[in-house]
Structure 1
Amino acid sequence: MTNSARTPTVDPQTLRKDKVVTIYYDGDSKTYGWSALGGTLTCNDGATTSGCTIDSYGHNVAGANFVQAQITEPGRVQSVMDAAFGSGAVTVENHGIGGATVLDSINGSADPISQAPEYDCSAVTNESSTCGSLMGRLKASHAQIVVGQFLTNDQYRMTPQQYGQYVATWMATVQQNLNADGQHMTAIWEESSPICRLDAPDAGPYLKSGRAAAAAANPPVLVIDNHDYTYANYNWIPGLLDCVHPDSDLYKFLGDRAGTAMGRTVQILLGR
């Protein structure tokens, strides 16, 4: 089910009396909005070459500085929501964690393969101070919409079949639990934008597994197909200095589409 499909079913109990909707963005470094600045362009063998330019397919960057982009995708979604529904009607929270996989998010700590403390609040690498398991975090939140956005790291650490299983678990965790206000939450799955590293596995089987999980969820989960849409409709490679993390222009493009895609769900929750 892609973003052209029907709007997800919304439980009437999720309609807050104060008519404010909170969107919880759960994801990795591209959700947080990391972007590369400077550094030395290298080709895939790691050797610096004069022939490897910013537009070379599959380039990497050595010694780059990574900063949060001026425009992040959740930040842009906030702007879209403000324009559509007025300031204060929607709050978009950015809970992206660099290096995270969907399994990391579910468990609240790194999976056995990566062995990195993404969701440990004592770790200085925890950019958004997002701690603990997905279930625990959501139960303590006021989120009515939870957007999952993973793949960047997952494709290196698990098979497409495992990815699909974990995506299904992520969706069930959102759908089967209540937030801090005793309300059900609506899950939305956003496919991560493409990367141009030549060592990356084929994203196709992972996307297929995620879509299958969304279609099998109860109720089915809206999928925002930003991977394929970006691939087909945006000159995206020049916007990835390190071949992974977008610049502000690409984050803006992604946020505009994501905000538009989930707009009807937000409108229903606001009772408009």
Structure 2
Amino acid sequence: MPLHILVLGGTTEARRLAENLVDVDGLRVTSSLAGRVAQPRLPPGEVRVGGFGGAEGMAEWLRAHHVDAVIDATHPFAGTISFHAASAAAAVHVPLLALRRPGWVPVEGDRWHAVESLAAAARLLPELGRRVFLTTGRMGLAAFAGLDSLWFLMRSVDAPEAPCPPRMEVLLERGPFSLEGERELIRRHRVDVLVTKDSGGDATAPKLTAAREAGIPVVVVRRPPVPPGVPVAGTPKEALDLLRALLP
């Protein structure tokens, strides 16, 4: 029987990891997607879409499908599923590791303001600017809904749902984004402050360079921690090496 690996996915790194795993003899790979994106890019191997019903539901799924290891390759800000995975893996006694792209690091010329939450970002914004480039995704817009004196350019893959800021223009786009394109957005929309989560990676990093060049402040929401005791890989290759060390 092949060893069954469950990849909690939805990221570019998760797709690349699945591509690596399906080529390994003796492995069966299932990628799980949350289903929040209308048309996700499907990875190779088996795919399931939707939630598990909390940590207990995930543990039942792991048992029923004879999963031998779990790799949490979700978005760095998908904190709830990561803690559910830690509880479920511990309950059924299967190894768990996390794949997290490294976070961004400020360089000379950056005007970063680090905060712990979207609510904290919203409280800070009126002190920094009036025309906001909001790149935190369509979830959590309620934190900014009361800022009626500010104008927002909001970019996401799918259309947002209420509550939203009253003065907002929506861009439905999927990365990666070019530096020239980000420069043009900031210039054309007269953006004077950028809000982003510390997602890491190269696909959306050009906005940070464009903001630095324009001399505008950037509000960066810090990422939540990985559950204690879970080994972390920074790349798909590192995750595959960790998996080999964890499995017989």
Q: Is TM more than 0.5 here?
A: no
Q: Which has the higher strand share?
A: 2
Q: Which has the higher helix share?
A: 1
The higher-RCO structure (CA 8 Å, 6+ apart) is 1
Shorter-chain TM range is 0.3 to 0.5
